[in-house]
Amino acid sequence: MRSQYEYLAVLFACLLVTAPLEWLGHGVYRRAPDVARAVLPVLAVLVVWDVVAIVRGHWSFHEESTTGVVLGGVLPVEEVLFFVAIPLCALLTYETVRRMLRDG
C-alpha cells in the first residue's frame, strides 16, 4: 500500500540520517552561499532534463506516491526537493569524511 507522502518521507529520512554530520563535518548548512553555488546549477539542469523526459513520456511518477503538487503542470514538487535534499546529504557526507581523513 502506497502513501501519497512516501516520496517525501524518504527524502526526510535521508536528511534526518545525515543531519548529525553537520556537527561532525565542516558545517555545510552554515555555508549557504557555497551550498547554493554547488546545488542550484545542478538543480536547474536536472529540472529541465526531468521535464523534457516527462513530456516525451520517457519518465513518470506514481501518483499514489506523491502529494499531487505539480510544478508547471508537469514536475512533482517531490522531484525538485529530491534534487536539493540528496545533494545536501552528499555534501554533508563528503565534508564529514574529508574532515575525518584530514584530522586522522
| pTM (two decimals) | 0.87
Chain centroid to Cα 74, Å, comes to 18
pLDDT for residue 1: 57
Task: Quick: pLDDT tens for 24-57.
Answer: 877 899 999 999 999 999 999 999 999 999 999 9
Nearest 5°: the CA angle 40, 18, 88 is 5
Largest Cα separation within the chain, whole Å, is 50
Task: Quick: pLDDT tens for 13-28.
Answer: 999 999 999 988 778 9
Task: Quick: pLDDT tens for 78-99.
Answer: 999 999 999 999 999 999 999 8
